């Protein structure tokens, strides 16, 4: 009896231990299966053809004969496409461009310590860049149509997205190159995504019109693409453990290894700095847009006033003197205390510290002055606004509206002085806009009222009334002007 009780007590305590050990074994087995699955899914070493990859990259470095003419033709096609603002044509030019070859060659040669291949890659790359810029410069210099299309100007201001596109595009390209049986569609896709050709065309365009800001911004974008594609090539080939080039002379081997390491560091340092700077600018612009949206845009005018969202100008300027400019139009101005409040609220956004806020406001009085301001703004900002067609459309609609206001506005003080000088019998002149309706539509007519001196004869008054109406219609270029005579009180 006692033995049975002991057996019954032991059995329940052993089962939980056995169950816990089974769970641990099952869990470890599951982790092992997941690990094995991920290794098989993501491993690219087993299907890499190192010799074929190196030969393919080296073969694309060469720049002479057919390759040179292909480059010239692709530059012309890209220039025409950018000039005509045709995305399809630009994509076609990027697909046939041979610019990617020397960039991959530079990344590979640094990864495997091949100094001879590095020299060839750098030399061919420099020749390609010079020839591309020269071709684009000649095209835009002598071609009669040189419109600043949005396709052109989109390549003058790189941001963090361009860095990411270049880096991950480079990764995809090298991985595709290293695979047994190169994936051609990936290579074509990377050529389109990284867009090496359009920035060089934009450099030529900027030089042709004498705008160094355009040329500098486009060359900066091209440099970003080049550095990060080469960096991606370097990292992938190191990951795939491509064999280093062997040199018979041990001293030369050590020298080449040091030089390759220095070049790699020299590439990575500016790449890191570039990424940091572009990332900081991206954060600044994000917070600046958030500040304008949350603090400035909701401002409500009690009378006539309007915030022009599309004319907001945000300038990072390398973080040394950032500024935000917002534009308001209308007869009502924003009080100084409100603007001071906005400047204080900018401190709530860490990246906007030391940022200057400029508030541009329309005229306080006449619409003619407002029209003059918008005209000047349109002309002065036309080059910058050309990158966004909708901004030009906004300005043109604003100009048309203000021109209509200016056209209908009566310069009453001038008219009254001229009428007094030309009509001796005139004693009083008034003006008002008369709103009338036939119950189907509304109409507004400009109406002048006149009163003649008491000693004026009726015949003279009638003649002056007719002459005055004809003169006002011609003077104000408005045949709808009405003239009404009122009697003295």
Judged against a pLDDT cut of 70, whether residue 342 lies above it is answered with yes
Query: Has residue 276 been placed in a domain?
Result: no
Instruction: Say if residue 2 is in the same domain as residue 87.
Output: no
Query: Has residue 172 been placed in a domain?
Result: yes
Instruction: Say if residue 131 is in the same domain as residue 145.
Output: yes
pLDDT higher for 25 or 135?
A: 135
Judged against a pLDDT cut of 80, whether residue 310 lies above it is answered with no
Please report which helix (H) or strand (E) contains residue 11, including its range: helix 2-42
Q: Cβ contacts of residue 16 below 8 Å, gap of 6+?
A: none
Instruction: Say if residue 90 is in the same domain as residue 234.
Output: yes
Query: Has residue 291 been placed in a domain?
Result: no
Query: Has residue 275 been placed in a domain?
Result: no
Query: Has residue 472 been placed in a domain?
Result: yes
Q: Would you state the pLDDT for residue 134?
A: 92
Q: What is the C-alpha separation between 328 and 332, in angstroms, rounded?
A: 9
Q: Would you state the pLDDT for residue 375?
A: 54
Q: What is the C-alpha separation between 425 and 229, in angstroms, rounded?
A: 86
Where among 228, 245, 262 does a domain terminate? 245
Q: Would you state the pLDDT for residue 405?
A: 58
- Number of domains forming the structure of the chain: 4
Confidence category of residue 364, pLDDT binned at 50, 70, 90:
very low
The strand pairing partners of 360, in sequence order, are 327
Confidence category of residue 394, pLDDT binned at 50, 70, 90:
low
Instruction: Say if residue 323 is in the same domain as residue 384.
Output: yes
Instruction: Say if residue 331 is in the same domain as residue 430.
Output: no
Where among 374, 408, 442 does a domain terminate? 408
Instruction: Say if residue 402 is in the same domain as residue 444.
Output: no
Phi, psi (5° rounding) for residue 462?
-65, -40
pLDDT higher for 149 or 478?
A: 478
Q: Would you state the pLDDT for residue 189?
A: 62
The residue-averaged pLDDT of 115-143 equals 88
Judged against a pLDDT cut of 70, whether residue 156 lies above it is answered with no
434, 447 Cβ separation under 8 angstroms: yes
pLDDT higher for 291 or 2?
A: 291
12-59 pLDDT, tens per residue? 444 555 566 777 776 777 777 777 777 667 777 777 777 888 888 888
Query: Has residue 271 been placed in a domain?
Result: no
Q: What is the C-alpha separation between 187 and 208, in angstroms, rounded?
A: 32
Q: Would you state the pLDDT for residue 213?
A: 82
Instruction: Say if residue 328 is in the same domain as residue 436.
Output: no
Best mean pLDDT range from 124-133, 225-234, 392-401: 124-133
Angle between helix 458-475 and 412-422 (nearest 10): 140
123, 130 Cβ separation under 8 angstroms: no
Q: Would you state the pLDDT for residue 126?
A: 92
Judged against a pLDDT cut of 60, whether residue 184 lies above it is answered with no
Q: Would you state the pLDDT for residue 130?
A: 92
For the ranges 180-189, 318-327, 363-372, 479-488, the lowest mean pLDDT is seen at 363-372
Token pair of 42 as six digits: 């993501």
Q: What is the DSSP string of 206-249?
A: HHHHT-HHHHHHHHHHHHHHHHHHHHHHHHHHHHTTPPPPP-SS
Length, in residues, of the chain: 489
Q: Would you state the pLDDT for residue 421?
A: 82
Instruction: Say if residue 186 is in the same domain as residue 138.
Output: yes
Query: Has residue 310 been placed in a domain?
Result: yes
Query: Has residue 288 been placed in a domain?
Result: no
266-309 pLDDT, tens per residue? 666 766 777 788 788 888 889 999 999 988 888 887 766 778 77
Instruction: Say if residue 13 is in the same domain as residue 145.
Output: no
The residue-averaged pLDDT of 312-337 equals 82
Instruction: Say if residue 401 is in the same domain as residue 417.
Output: no
Q: Would you state the pLDDT for residue 384?
A: 52
For 236, the domain range is 50-245
Instruction: List, in sequence order, every beta strand (DSSP E) within 282-408.
Output: 306-315, 323-329, 356-361
The residue-averaged pLDDT of 66-85 equals 84
Tell me which residue of 258, 267, 237, 260 sits closest to 114, measured CA to CA. Answer: 260
Where among 245, 260, 282 does a domain terminate? 245
Instruction: Say if residue 57 is in the same domain as residue 193.
Output: yes
Tell me which residue of 115, 114, 103 sits closest to 61, measured CA to CA. Answer: 103
Instruction: Say if residue 467 is in the same domain as residue 404.
Output: no
Token pair of 18 as six digits: 């056995």
């Amino acid at each position: 009896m006692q033995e049975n009780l002991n057996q019954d007590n032991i059995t329940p305590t052993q089962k939980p231990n056995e169950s816990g050990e089974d769970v641990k074994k099952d869990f470890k087995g599951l982790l092992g299966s997941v690990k094995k699955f991920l290794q098989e899914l993501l491993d690219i070493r087993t299907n890499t053809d190192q010799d074929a990859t190196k030969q393919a990259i080296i073969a694309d470095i060469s720049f002479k004969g057919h390759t040179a003419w292909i480059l010239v033709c692709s530059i012309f096609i890209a220039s025409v496409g950018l000039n005509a603002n045709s995305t399809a044509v630009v994509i076609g030019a990027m697909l046939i461009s041979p610019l990617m070859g020397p960039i991959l060659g530079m990344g590979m040669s640094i990864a495997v310590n091949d100094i001879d291949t590095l020299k060839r890659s750098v030399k061919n790359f420099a020749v390609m860049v010079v020839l591309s810029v020269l071709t684009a410069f000649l095209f835009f210099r002598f071609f009669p149509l040189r419109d600043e299309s949005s396709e052109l100007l989109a390549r003058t201001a790189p941001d963090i997205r361009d860095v990411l596109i270049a880096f991950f595009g480079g990764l995809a390209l090298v991985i595709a190159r290293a695979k047994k049986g190169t994936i051609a569609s990936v290579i074509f896709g990377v050529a389109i995504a990284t867009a090496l050709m359009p920035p060089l065309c934009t450099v030529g365009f900027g030089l042709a019109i004498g705008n160094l800001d355009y040329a500098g911004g486009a060359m900066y974008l091209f440099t970003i693409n080049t550095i990060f594609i080469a960096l991606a090539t370097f990292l992938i080939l190191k990951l795939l453990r491509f064999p280093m080039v062997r040199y018979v002379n041990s001293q030369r081997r050590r020298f080449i290894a040091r030089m390759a390491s220095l070049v790699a560091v020299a590439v990575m340092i500016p790449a890191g700095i570039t990424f940091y700077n572009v990332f900081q600018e991206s954060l600044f612009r994000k917070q600046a847009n958030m500040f304008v949206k949350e603090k400035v845009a909701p401002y409500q005018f009690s009378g006539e006033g309007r915030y022009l969202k599309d004319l907001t100008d945000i300038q990072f300027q390398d973080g040394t003197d950032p500024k935000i400019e917002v534009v308001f139009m209308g007869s009502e101005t924003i009080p100084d205390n409100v603007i001071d409040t906005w400047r204080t609220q900018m401190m709530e956004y860490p990246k906007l510290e030391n940022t200057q806020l400029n508030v541009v406001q329309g005229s306080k009085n006449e619409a003619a002055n407002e029209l003059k301001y918008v005209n000047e703004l349109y002309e002065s900002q036309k080059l910058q606004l050309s990158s966004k067609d909708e901004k030009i459309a906004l300005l043109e609609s604003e100009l048309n509206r203000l021109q209509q206001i200016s056209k209908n506005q009566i310069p009453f003080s001038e008219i009254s002085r001229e009428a007094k000088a030309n009509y001796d019998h005139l004693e009083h002149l008034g003006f008002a806009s008369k709103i009338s309706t036939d119950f189907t539509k509304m109409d507004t007519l400009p109406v002048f009222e006149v009163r003649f001196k008491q000693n004026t004869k009726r015949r003279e008054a009638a003649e002056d009334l007719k002459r005055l109406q004809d003169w006002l219609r011609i003077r104000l270029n408005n045949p709808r002007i009405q003239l009404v005579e009122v009697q003295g009180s």
